[in-house]
Structure 1
Amino acid sequence: MRRIVTQDDILEGLEALERLDPRLAPVRARAGDVPLRLSEPGFGSLVSIIVSQQVSRASADAIFGRLTGLLDPLTHDAILGAPEQVFREAGLSRPKQRTLIALSEAVRDGLDLGNVVHLEAGAAMTRLTGVPGIGPWTAECYLLFAAGHPDIFPAKDVALQSAVGHALGIDPRPGDKALGRLAESWSPWRGVASRLFWAYYREMRGKDAAPPGNLPEKNTRMVEL
């Protein structure tokens, strides 16, 4: 399966998307830099994405920074052995605490987050969303940014809904089902399309809507429903 692992892959995908849908040419022009954001797959990357659910990027960065400072190294064993005070000091909500504990238990019991990235998207999504508290958005972002899956578009992401609605003149903005159907026309490059519209949102709103920059980087450096 083709992976998005270099900036050249992003460029190839952008050019292919313009051929698939000429409306994306002005979107690309306004979006400017479309970063790769490929992270090292594993426990830390997925924890970072869980932390970023339903909070701003700045808040997610701060919480993840406190958590990694309190638990160094950040491992599933460290999470399972941590007293509740650690989670409170880090600023984690109770639901996120429960999700991190459920993830840590799953890893302890055999969930291989490194192996998951080599599965086809459907099988990988099933494996990840089988962990209590991990929904489609979290699983999709992990596969996009830790696995380089080429054809995933997190249609539940509110920033993507806003960006696509604004860029393509869709008012009101498309909901997740409508956006999912629209994104089908960008296959097999939906992973690049998602990055394009996150970059467009950055220029549209003056803020970065992609998952937080504290993801453990490999080559380069929202909302759970």
Structure 2
Amino acid sequence: MTTFSSENFHTICDTLATNDKDLTSVIATYGYPPMWTRPNTFESLVHIILEQQVSLASALATLNKLRERIKTITPEGVLTLSDEELKACYFSRQKTAYVRYLADAILKGSIDLSSIANLPNDDVRSTLSQLKGVGNWTIDVYLMFVLQRVDVFPIGDLAAVNALKQLKKLPADTSREALLEIALNWQPYRTVATMLLWHFYLSRRAKK
């Protein structure tokens, strides 16, 4: 299981750029991307669940509101809150259910995040997909940010997909299969290539 770290991140970026002139241009124009990582904690997985289908700013506001309410975000702390209290922290009904289910699974021992860290990607996927509300996008982000697995392309991530289309000047209706085929050229470093895509996407938006 290959991972990226502060020791090899820029080297991987350079390797990708050597083989892809569009990624070369991202680094030349905007510099290296941030190395986005998060600790392997309940809070990190809650944060990723909150980011499903909403803006990053909205998810962070919800996470911060929860932190204000219970100080440390733990399974026990979340389960002490009523539906109304979670709603006051900006939780939707769906995400209340998902986060409660996760907290319960961790407390019962059916999910052990420290053990998951040692599993191959496919086993991480099959373990986490048993959780209510946890699908491929959530697992992809967990593999990339938390476990720092180096070769994941999150085809369900709109920002990554839109950035890829913009960078490669592809038609808006380019198929999912065609995008996955392009991403194959970045093996075995598709995670870091995705971080370059996000960096491109966010940098362009910031300039506008």
Matched to 2:145, the amino acid is: F
Q: Distance in 1 between matches of 2:125 and 2:134?
A: 10
Matched, 1:170 2:170: yes
Aligned equivalent of 2:132: 132
> How far off is 1:193 after superposition?
0.6
Q: Distance in 1 between matches of 2:64 and 2:112?
A: 24
Aligned equivalent of 2:83: 84
Matched to 1:120, the amino acid is: P
Q: Unpaired runs of 5+ in structure 1? A: 208-225
Asked if the contact 1:129–1:136 (Cα under 8 Å) also holds between the matched residues in 2, the reply is: yes
Distance change (3 Å), C-alpha of 1:181 and 1:105: farther
Asked if the contact 1:13–1:192 (Cα under 8 Å) also holds between the matched residues in 2, the reply is: yes
Aligned equivalent of 1:142: 142
Distance change (3 Å), C-alpha of 1:177 and 1:93: farther
Identity %: 30
SS of residue matched to 1:206 = helix
Deviation string 1:123-165 (CA, Å, 9 cap, x unpaired) is 1111111101011111111111111100111111111111000
> How far off is 1:55 after superposition?
1.6
Aligned equivalent of 2:96: 97
Distance change (3 Å), C-alpha of 1:44 and 1:190: same
Indicate the larger mover: 163-172 or 31-40. Answer: 31-40
Q: Unpaired runs of 5+ in structure 2? A: none
Indicate the larger mover: 28-37 or 120-129. Answer: 28-37
Q: Distance in 2 between matches of 1:57 and 1:206?
A: 15
Indicate the larger mover: 42-51 or 180-189. Answer: 180-189
Q: Distance in 2 between matches of 1:192 and 1:47?
A: 23
SS of residue matched to 2:185 = helix
Root-mean-square deviation (CA), in Å?
Answer: 1.6
Matched to 2:187, the amino acid is: S
> How far off is 1:175 after superposition?
4.6
Asked if the contact 2:43–2:73 (Cα under 8 Å) also holds between the matched residues in 1, the reply is: yes
Instruction: Give the TM-score taking structure 2 as reference length.
Output: 0.92
Aligned equivalent of 1:73: 72
Indicate the larger mover: 101-110 or 43-52. Answer: 101-110
Q: Distance in 1 between matches of 2:182 and 2:107?
A: 39
Distance change (3 Å), C-alpha of 1:100 and 1:175: farther
Q: Distance in 2 between matches of 1:41 and 1:146?
A: 6
Asked if the contact 2:50–2:62 (Cα under 8 Å) also holds between the matched residues in 1, the reply is: yes
Q: Distance in 1 between matches of 2:202 and 2:5?
A: 22
Aligned equivalent of 1:188: 188
Q: Distance in 2 between matches of 1:124 and 1:66?
A: 29
Higher relative contact order (CA closer than 8 Å, sequence separation 6+): 1
Question: Where in structure 2 are the equivalents of 1:27-42 lying within 5 Å?
Answer: 27-42=26-41
Distance change (3 Å), C-alpha of 1:51 and 1:26: same
Q: Distance in 2 between matches of 1:175 and 1:89?
A: 40
Instruction: Give the TM-score taking structure 1 as reference length.
Output: 0.85
Matched to 1:148, the amino acid is: Q
Q: Distance in 1 between matches of 2:70 and 2:173?
A: 41
Aligned equivalent of 1:123: 123
